[in-house]
A and B are shown apart, each in its own frame.
Chain A
Amino acid sequence: MLKRPAMPYHRNPAVYAAELDGEVCLFDPVTAAYFNLNSTGSTIWNLLETPLTYDEILGVLLATYPVEDQMCRDQCLDFFTQALELGLLQLAP
């Protein structure tokens, strides 16, 4: 469970990103780690061009894609948990 679902999140500005074949590739220059986001991750990354809360992201995804509510929540939570752990996303100040 996310600690602060109501707080806005944003991309880590130090992370380099580029789109390849419809999916987002990331490079963290601090850890020298590459990441390939899947379609869900890429969509969330693109939505986070401006800071959004977890609930707002979830709302946009549920309104845009014909996806089951629980599946969307699970995938979104999974992405946020991993992205925060890896330092790809940050809590907006």
Chain B
Amino acid sequence: MPGLLHSGPGVGPLAVGAVKLLRPLAYGLFAGFDHLIWVLVKVIPGPRLMALVRRRPWIRLQLVLAAPCQRHWQGRIRWLLALRCHRAGWASSCLSRSLAGRILLDLIAAPNALHLGMGQFDDGRKVPHAWLSDPATGRLFTPGLTPGFGAELASF
């Protein structure tokens, strides 16, 4: 998994120190963004939220990046999402993390698909679940359904 920032040969101790500081900073910013999305998901009425998810108005701010640069940033976002999904607790949900990831991926024009489905716990309880994937490779950005314990309903 590529890190947020890389230290390589010829990089001085100051730069290495900066990298060590920037990783938690980037994670902190992303966690804050995730919390914000979580609040918006709670506040915005369902029909309006769905309209936003479909229209993706943030695409107007999309950056045009060269393919290698886009892949590089996609790797960084993937790292952030993996870490956030691993550590998320209070004021975060699968939907808020997936939407936060989708907005960042949309901003660098990286293809992504938001999936909505119903997951099932061992005790039979059913819970709505959202996850994000790369439609080109099928690789998941955020954890999907456990095979045999859920059903996908829609993807956007």
Contacts and interface: CB of A to CB of B under 8 A. Distances in A.
A76 interface: no
A19 B120 CA distance: 12
A38 to B, nearest CB: 12
A30 B105 CA distance: 24
A27 B154 contact: yes
Interface residues of A, number: 16
A43 interface: no
B118 A32 contact: no
A77 interface: no
A35 to B, nearest CB: 10
Contact of B47 (A20, A21, A27, A30): A30
A61 B128 CA distance: 29
Nearest to A33: B46
Interface residues of B, number: 16
Contact of B151 (A20, A29, A31, A33): A20
Interface in B110-156: 116-118, 120, 124, 126, 128, 150-154
Q: B-side binding surface: helix, strand, loop or mixed?
A: strand
A12 interface: no
B91 interface: no
B38 to A, nearest CB: 15
Contacts of B126: 20-21, 25, 36
Contact of A18 (B46, B50, B151): B151
B59 interface: no
Contacts of B124: 21
Given A31-B46, A32-B46, A20 B118 contact: yes
B47 A26 contact: no
Nearest to B116: A27
A21 to B, nearest CB: 6
B151 A25 contact: yes
B49 interface: yes
Given A20-B126, A25-B126, A32 B150 contact: no
Given A18-B118, A25-B126, A31-B46, 5 more contacts: A16-B116, A20-B126, A21-B126, A27-B118, A29-B154
